[in-house]
Amino acid sequence: MNEIGTVRQAKGVTRRELLIGVGAAGFALAAGPVSADRITTSSEGLIVADITIMGGKDKIPAYEARPSSPRAYPVILVIHEIFGLHEYIKDVTRRFAKEGYYAIAPELYFREGGVSTLPDIPAVIKVVEKIPDRQVLQDLSAVVDHAGAQSWARADRVGATGFCWGGRMTWLLAAHEKHLKAAVAWYGALGPWRGRSDEARPKSALDLAEQLRCPVLGLYGGADEGIPLSDVQAMEAKLNAHQKAGEIVVYPGTPHGFFADYRGSYREDVATAAWKRALGWFAKHLKA
């Protein structure tokens, strides 16, 4: 039986702004003051590696993690934020591995030299605006193919999750990749990226709702200044109208980036609840 999309209002949480004024090596410029709540996940009991994946003639850098016990595990692609593949995304990759997945996170800005050394967010956006969705989706499909070919991977149980920019790409990948069985999009834009469509980004998540190939869980903050609640409601309506398996959860009073424990936007209670919900979603569709 399909689970038809529904927007659920989750319980609010107490606002927390615990910041310390120090930098952290390995984080993108997004970190700024690093949150006192930053999570560090050990690689104990895991096999982790920096690898390269062939995408056509290009070598895509990636970080992978899986349990050390020799068996085949469901696969989860971890799609980074606008700030690229930095330590927070690697930590999330290890978190999924701790839960019994082969998790793999590609660096999708490698052709542009990455963005971690850029001076500010406008400079990052200037780079990212030039990267076409088509190229990103091709790279992600190459990662899916690579993962599925590994002896420790379940090629028939592949999921994807992404944050912010990666949340948007998660929706797009769910409409593009035939091997995807489940997806979780964290506060990814649903309408046109930065309010407009162009040659690089011709379609929004809302435009592609009818084409979704797998169940998608969307996790959103009710106080997200960059994603209108009207877009979230519109996606819920489209999921219902097209009989697509999916669910959208909105956490009232919660900002964008509530899961990013290295930033001031982090909300521990919401992040914990949303993580549990994401794990449940993947368990249902990739492990059942």
What value does the mean pLDDT take over residues 203-217?
A: 97
Average pLDDT score, the chain: 89
Is pLDDT of 216 > 60?
yes
Check residue 32 and give its pLDDT: 59
Check residue 193 and give its pLDDT: 82
pTM of the predicted structure, to 2 decimals:
0.91
Check residue 3 and give its pLDDT: 36
Give yes or no: 256 in active site.
yes
Tokens (6 digits) for 159: 């999921």
Which position among 91, 224, 231, 261 bears the catalytic label?
Answer: 224
In a domain, 1, yes or no: no
Q: What is the CATH number of the domain that holds 212?
A: 3.40.50.1820
Is pLDDT of 212 > 70?
yes
For the stretch 77-105, what's the b/e string if a residue is b when 16 or more beta carbons lie within 10 angstroms of its beta carbon?
Answer: bbbbbbbbbbbbbbbbbbbbbbbbbbbbb
| Closest listed residue to residue 184, CA positions, set 249, 138, 235 | 249
Grade residue 5 by pLDDT with cuts at 50, 70 and 90.
very low
Is pLDDT of 52 > 90?
yes
Number of domains in the chain: 1
Which position among 146, 256, 261, 285 bears the catalytic label?
Answer: 256
The residue assigned the tokens 């999924």 is: 96
Grade residue 36 by pLDDT with cuts at 50, 70 and 90.
low
Give yes or no: 214 in active site.
no
Rounded CA gap, 37 and 127, in Å?
A: 30
pLDDT (tens digit, 9 = 90+) per residue, 57-111?
999 999 999 999 999 999 999 999 999 999 999 999 999 999 999 999 999 999 9
The residue assigned the tokens 């070598």 is: 59
Which position among 86, 91, 139, 164 bears the catalytic label?
Answer: 164
Query: Domain residues for 103?
Result: 7-287
Give yes or no: 224 in active site.
yes
Check residue 41 and give its pLDDT: 97
In a domain, 228, yes or no: yes
In a domain, 2, yes or no: no
Q: In sequence order, what E strands does 56-164 have?
A: 58-67, 73-79, 102-106, 153-163
In a domain, 21, yes or no: yes
In a domain, 55, yes or no: yes
**Which of 13 and 231 is assigned the larger pLDDT?**
231
Is residue 183 within 8 Å of 159, Cβ to Cβ? yes
| Rg (alpha carbons) of the chain, rounded to whole number | 18
In a domain, 224, yes or no: yes
Rounded CA gap, 89 and 234, in Å?
A: 29
Element (H, E) at 52: strand 46-55
The stretches of 99-228 forming alpha helices (DSSP H) are 121-128, 133-148, 165-176
- For the chain, the straight-line distance linking the first and the last C-alpha, in angstroms and rounded, comes to 14
In a domain, 239, yes or no: yes
